[in-house]
Structure 1
Amino acid sequence: MARLYPFRALRYDTTRVNMADVVTQPYDKISPAMQDAYYAASPYNLIRVILGKKKSTDDEIENVYSRAAATLKAWREEEILKPEAEPALYGYSQTYTVPGTEEVRERRGFIGLGHLHDYADKVVYRHEQTFPKHKSDRLSLFKATRAYCEQIYMLYSDPTFTAEELIFGSKAGGATKAADLEITDEYNVVHRVWKLADPALIQQVLAAMDDKWLLIADGHHRYETSTTYMQERAAELGIDPKSAQPKLDENGLPVPAFPEAAMMMTFVNADAPGITILPTHRVVFGLNDFNGRAFAEKASTYFDVEEIPNTTDGHYPGAPTLLAKLAGKPGVAFVAATREGDFLLTPKADAIAPLLAKLSPRQAALDVTQLHKVVLENMLGLSEETVRAGSNVRYVREATEALQQVGSGNADVAFLIKPVTLEQMKDISLNLEVMPQKSTDFYPKLLSGLAMYTLD
């Protein structure tokens, strides 16, 4: 099953930089404003590698990818980034407040290398579709830098909490020793890292993981791109990646058969507390002659439509009101927020059944699937290919932001949805099915820059 490896990570020298100034959120969660802030925070901020600024003069030779490679090379030469002396795994915890609540949770896991498997091997499972243009971008970056600076967030199942006890000294929250590194990010999430270099301990952790399946929580694009790169490099090297076996180092610890055969990952136990999935709302723009009331009337063929009234002083209800209304509705439901009014939609089972007939029952039961199939595709005429290409639809975590885009005229309608549950996601994935892209938003995100895996 899962094949894991320790690695000699490339890490920032904490005597040369303030770690809070150089780490970032994952590349696909970085807005232009965040990119500017990261650039300003430090000349050594990782943004210059994972999501550098483009220039109007960029061409096939000098571009964002070549600059990323040159930057990484310079930082290594300056020893801003230094390789670890020995292979290790890294315990990793995140303490955070669940957005919209006062509940504090801790999510624990560990960073290591994971062997790259084709989905057909039934070791690594995906749960959502991907965007082709994102994969092309990441492949260009990986080839230029020959480094993985960001982790893939992987789930596994272990009700006995064996790895947690080995790494943190306890099966419950917290740890029995102080962290080697602690950073608070811009969302007030506290990230802690413990280096685990004892070969005997590493062997125990790897043994605890060798019968596990892995489910991608975050990082589908990077996983699929890394797998593509692995296959390309295997062909160049004349290696059959299916039969290539790991090597052993001087301590008897496994090493990938060739560097590209593995990718840096954070492994989190799906049976442990601390996992939070947020909804990703859909904002639709560029529709011809869209009118909210006309949409609601058309929707009544497929849904029970309830208009959510304005406030007593005539203002549109805000995000908290709409989300509370949505949360109070059992079963599948979503809110359509338009400039002409806001509407709560609950499906008419018999009416939508023909539109979902080609899907499995587990797929057809998902809010996000019904939104895509019945509303986006059937009612608004946006094909699956159009949506996957990133046309007409934006994906937004914050409901307030989604409403602002509609109110400002930058979008026609925002669909606020409920989060997918962990059990729904596991049920879909382990049955070799996928949800629409951006169906889940695991919170908080893994910081980029805590450790890096270099291929050279």
Structure 2
Amino acid sequence: MATIVPFKAVRPARDKVTLVTCRSYDEYSPAELASQLDYNPYSFLHVLNPAYVNMHKLSETVRFKSVHTKYREYKDEEILKQEAAPVFYLYEIQSKNKTFTGIIAGTSIADYQDNIIKKHEDTLAYRVEYFKDYLHQTGFNTEPVLITYPDNPELKNWITQRKQKRPLYLFSSLNRDKHTLWRIRDEQEIQWLQKQFGNIESLYIADGHHRSASAELLYEQDKSSGNVNLDYFMSFLIAESDLKIYEYNRLVHDLNGLTKSQFLKALAKDFDIENRHMELWKPEQKFEFGMYLGGEFYALKLKDKQFESAIESLDAQILYTKVLQPLLGINDLRNDERIAYIPGNKPITTIKEMVDEGTFAVGFMLYPASINEIKQLADNNLIMPPKSTYIEPKFRSGLVVYEL
């Protein structure tokens, strides 16, 4: 059964929370990053990238130590403050179209190793090792693993009631999302939450497979130190029905030597093809694929829907086995430079524009995987193809920090 623990979190001073928190570092363009670092002295980006101009010239060890030093400065200046006692948080992100609410807690490395916390994505060894070293040198993590749990009426009712109380933070970010954070420090409430999760058989990683794998690797490396914080990693726990699962759409630079007519003829072996001309068409159900090619949109509908395993029936895998590999010659979805990926929260016009500009020859739109598909794969220890899902919510860096 699942174990969650409160922890002595570090968070921004209340009057600076809007200035401190930021999107994930990788989401900023170079121009946005430079602007934030130039004009916002409180941004957590200064911690994540304390030597912005010269960062690429520094060794990995020096970079990580610089992050640690800057983080200590933020604490010394009380830009960041640590809780006096271990707590949970209830956190809500309200965007234009969706509201996400979940619990921030420590989740167990033992549960991760015992497959109580289940995975559905593969990891790259070098990325896991790199982030493990980052955690070891900096001593903190501010990006929780997004974990989902089965819908639970008691937890849902508690969340509804708890949100009526005064929050610790209530602020808006520059993308117009509204963020609300409640602190859970009452011992009886903490124990009740732990009991609720103790009755849950399995949790599922939605996003953050590399972060959780790095936390396990760090635990194995440093567990003899006696640091109990290594026994857990920070997670944002959210009910299954509250997740928003998008697809990752695909763009390919060329048709692998085929003409448009030859490619369409080859596709007709496995798909019923309907020319939708200039209609911005995207799949409406599983086993349908959208395609933009030569200035026109096409609907591709799979003919044979009989499969022997859950992984074979996944739309991302179907596109790979029926189109990308045999027709377009793409064998390595992760490293082939001829393929690019666009998350499904971006408009279809993004794909159209990139093909029309001549950067790519063809674009494919997929139908998003369901939570049941993800769980079925995880339950059977099966791994999704790379870039199969783009899952929201995304957490703000610097809002809550877990120290190691």
Same fold? TM cut 0.5: yes
Structure 1's 377 and 28: CA in aligned 2 closer, same or farther, altered over 3 A?
A: farther
Structure 1's 292 and 70: CA in aligned 2 closer, same or farther, altered over 3 A?
A: farther
Structure 1's 200 and 431: CA in aligned 2 closer, same or farther, altered over 3 A?
A: same
Structure 1 counterpart of 2:172: 184
Aligned CA RMSD, in angstroms, stands at 2.7
User: Is 1:199 equivalent to 2:179 in the alignment?
Assistant: no
Q: Is the 8 A contact 1:54 1:63 kept in 2?
A: no
CA–CA distance in structure 2, aligned partners of residues 87 and 302 of structure 1: 56
CA–CA distance in structure 2, aligned partners of residues 403 and 136 of structure 1: 38
Structure 1's 436 and 203: CA in aligned 2 closer, same or farther, altered over 3 A?
A: same
CA–CA distance in structure 2, aligned partners of residues 366 and 61 of structure 1: 38
Q: Which aligned pairs between 1:10-409 and structure 2 lie closer than 5 A?
A: 10-15=10-15, 17=16, 19-40=17-38, 42-50=40-48, 53=52, 55=54, 58-60=57-59, 64-98=63-97, 105-117=98-110, 121-162=114-155, 164-169=156-161, 175-212=163-200, 213-234=202-223, 237=225, 258-270=228-240, 273-285=241-253, 288-289=256-257, 291-310=259-278, 317=279, 321-323=280-282, 326-327=283-284, 330-349=285-304, 360-383=308-331, 386-389=332-335, 391-397=337-343, 398=346, 399-409=348-358
* Aligned counterpart for 2:374 among listed residues 425, 434, 437: 425
Q: Is the 8 A contact 2:92 2:99 kept in 1?
A: yes
> 1:209 deviation in Å?
0.8
- Higher deviation after alignment, 62-71 or 407-416: 62-71
- Normalised by the length of structure 2, the TM-score is 0.88
CA–CA distance in structure 2, aligned partners of residues 401 and 64 of structure 1: 35
CA–CA distance in structure 2, aligned partners of residues 294 and 67 of structure 1: 55
Q: Is the 8 A contact 1:180 1:195 kept in 2?
A: yes
- Normalised by the length of structure 1, the TM-score is 0.79
CA–CA distance in structure 2, aligned partners of residues 390 and 82 of structure 1: 44
> 1:110 deviation in Å?
0.9
Report the AA paired with residue 201 of structure 1: E
CA–CA distance in structure 2, aligned partners of residues 44 and 390 of structure 1: 39
Structure 2 counterpart of 1:249: none
Structure 1's 34 and 116: CA in aligned 2 closer, same or farther, altered over 3 A?
A: farther
Which digits, 9 at most, give the CA deviation of each residue in 1:36-78, with x for residues without a partner? 4543452232223446747476243675433322321221222
Helix, strand or coil at the partner of 1:371: helix
Structure 1's 220 and 61: CA in aligned 2 closer, same or farther, altered over 3 A?
A: closer
Q: Is the 8 A contact 1:132 1:389 kept in 2?
A: no
- Could you list the runs of 5+ residues in structure 2 that have no partner in the other structure? none
> 1:154 deviation in Å?
0.7
Q: Is the 8 A contact 1:166 1:201 kept in 2?
A: no
- Higher deviation after alignment, 439-448 or 35-44: 35-44
Helix, strand or coil at the partner of 1:369: helix
Structure 1's 84 and 331: CA in aligned 2 closer, same or farther, altered over 3 A?
A: closer
Q: Is the 8 A contact 1:131 1:390 kept in 2?
A: no
User: Is 1:442 equivalent to 2:396 in the alignment?
Assistant: no
Q: Is the 8 A contact 2:25 2:48 kept in 1?
A: yes
**Percent pairwise identity:** 24
Which digits, 9 at most, give the CA deviation of each residue in 1:214-261, with x for residues without a partner? 101111111111111111112x54x7xxxxxxxxxxxxxxxxx62212
- Higher deviation after alignment, 259-268 or 400-409: 400-409
> 1:336 deviation in Å?
2.0
Report the AA paired with residue 454 of structure 1: E
Q: Is the 8 A contact 2:49 2:55 kept in 1?
A: no
Number of matched pairs? 399
Q: Is the 8 A contact 1:69 1:144 kept in 2?
A: yes
Structure 1's 64 and 298: CA in aligned 2 closer, same or farther, altered over 3 A?
A: farther
- Could you list the runs of 5+ residues in structure 1 that have no partner in the other structure? 99-104, 240-256, 311-316
Structure 1's 57 and 206: CA in aligned 2 closer, same or farther, altered over 3 A?
A: closer
> 1:206 deviation in Å?
0.9
Helix, strand or coil at the partner of 1:434: coil
